Amino acid sequence: MEEGKIPKHIAIIMDGNGRWAKKQGLARGYGHREGMKPVRRAVEFCRNKGISCLTVFAFSTENWKRPASEVNIIMGILREYLYSETPELNANGVKVRFIGDISVLPQECREAIYYSEKITEKNDSLTLNIACNYGGRADILRAVKTLAAKAVQGDIEPEELTEDDVSAELYTSGCPDPDMIIRTGAEKRISNFLIWQGAYSELYFTDKLWPDITEDDLEEAVQWYSERQRRYGGLK
């Protein structure tokens, strides 16, 4: 595979945890817990490939509609993951960054997030963006409000705004836009995920449920990406 064909930023919609658990005859919570294993595999894969940024969709702004019992399980698993995995992530040079409105998360989760982000903030081998209470439209709306406030204060001229100005106010500021968005679990939609940033992302869909994803599956996705012609509306 040509070095230039390796994506700089991969984003993943980790779909299928609940269905995986149902197939095993287990409660949905077991699927969410099992879904932490391929997160580890994805982080290691990206580090080995020299990919600079990995964004995983952990919890959307719409996921609050799920039963409170399931939401509590997800939040508990997230907290456990951060406390158990951060030391190794830090040792491997991974920077953990949360994108989304974490202010409304349970205090125990926020404490775990601050712990993980603080310890890994100077790392630079891989940035792991964890999208939690994240929605693409909310991300854009937040950026628009920030830019509108700056315009009111006279700090910017509205007619001079550029796409780069908007990108700079999004949660993913500092990371390149995702070259590829992977969605597992057979669904064929992006579900309000990185809708500004993913304007030109290659979309890769697989029927495999997230807990079943292996490094070989990720390798297959990157190989598929390497064969794509990215024209950005132009011609090759």
| Pick from 106, 62, 49: nearest CA to 80 | 106
Supply the pTM of this predicted model: 0.94
Nearest-angstrom CA–CA distance, 134 and 193: 8
Domain ranges of the chain: 3-226
Strands 202-205 and 53-60: unpaired
Asked if 43 and 95 touch (Cβ cutoff 8 Å), the reply is no
Q: What is the DSSP string of 8-20?
A: SEEEEE---HHHH
Nearest-angstrom CA–CA distance, 13 and 35: 12
Q: How much is the pLDDT for 1?
A: 46
Helix (H), strand (E) at residue 43: helix 36-49
| Pick from 57, 62, 76, 80: nearest CA to 10 | 57
What are the tokens at 51?
A: 């990919």
Q: How much is the pLDDT for 229?
A: 76
Q: What is the DSSP string of 63-109?
A: GGGS-HHHHHHHHHHHHHHHHHHHHHHHHTTEEEEEES-GGGS-HHH
Instruction: Show the 3-state SS of 152-191.
Output: HCCCCCHHHCCHHHHHHHCCCCCCCCCCEEEECCCCCCCC
Helix (H), strand (E) at residue 216: helix 215-226
Q: Cite the active site residues.
A: 15, 63
List of residues 6+ apart from 206 with CB closer than 8 A: 182, 183, 184, 186, 213, 217, 221
CA angle 116, 44, 39 (to 5 degrees): 65
Helix (H), strand (E) at residue 149: helix 136-152
CA atoms lying within 13 Å on the CB side of residue 154: 0
CATH T-level topology, domain 3-226: Undecaprenyl pyrophosphate synthetase (3.40.1180)
Query: pLDDT tens digits for the chain (236 residues)?
Result: 454 589 999 999 999 999 999 999 999 999 999 999 999 999 999 999 999 999 999 999 999 999 999 999 999 999 999 999 999 999 999 999 999 999 999 999 999 999 999 999 999 999 999 999 999 999 999 999 999 999 999 999 999 999 999 999 999 999 999 999 999 999 999 999 999 999 999 999 999 999 999 999 999 999 999 998 766 566 56
Nearest-angstrom CA–CA distance, 87 and 82: 9
